[in-house]
Amino acid sequence: MHQLQRILSLGLLTSAVFAHPPIRTEGSLTDKADSQYGYWDLTFSRGNAASGYRWEDLAATYSGAPEIIVTCKRLYDPNSNETTKSCDDPSFWYEMDPKWPENVITVHQTVQLVVAGAVAPVGIMGKTQLELECGKGASGRACEAFARVGA
């Protein structure tokens, strides 16, 4: 059964974050689970407020044993003209291609894998194009996407 957690972003958008892979619906997930290094299930949302604030929320669940669940937040503050970005796991990072409408996300993470019979830290990465569904949230200024990214 799927575990559901709520993330609140600036009080403007509530998005669901799945602690286990979301239920697959036609076209909602890229089927890349066959990688020898595993995969991430991603829940991504972003939006903006009339005040000029912009945000992104990302929840990533790595398929390894044990599962690794990471959440990241990015916030642009128009008053200071600064952007802050953080993830709760320092071994994980993501980048969004700034080109619109490509929405390509690249994820990086250091995980423990068996290499030559011993467990060792290994840096892995994956990339996919997100299919954002927009018009979300109370103001309709938010977008969200779900994806599976092979490492």
pLDDT in tens, 20-35: 333 332 333 444 455 7
Query: Is the CB of residue 56 less than 8 Å from the CB of residue 74?
Result: yes
For residue 76, pLDDT beyond 80:
yes
Give the pLDDT confidence of 41-73 residue by residue, as tens digits: 999 999 999 999 999 999 999 998 889 999 999
**Helix-strand-coil percent breakdown of the chain, rounded to 5?**
0, 60, 40
Three-class SS state of 21: coil
Query: Is the CB of residue 33 less than 8 Å from the CB of residue 39?
Result: yes
pTM: 0.74
Whether residue 70 is contained in a domain is answered as yes
Whether residue 122 is contained in a domain is answered as no
Total structural domains within the chain: 1
Domain enclosing residue 11, as ranges? 4-21+29-88+130-150
Whether residue 17 is contained in a domain is answered as yes
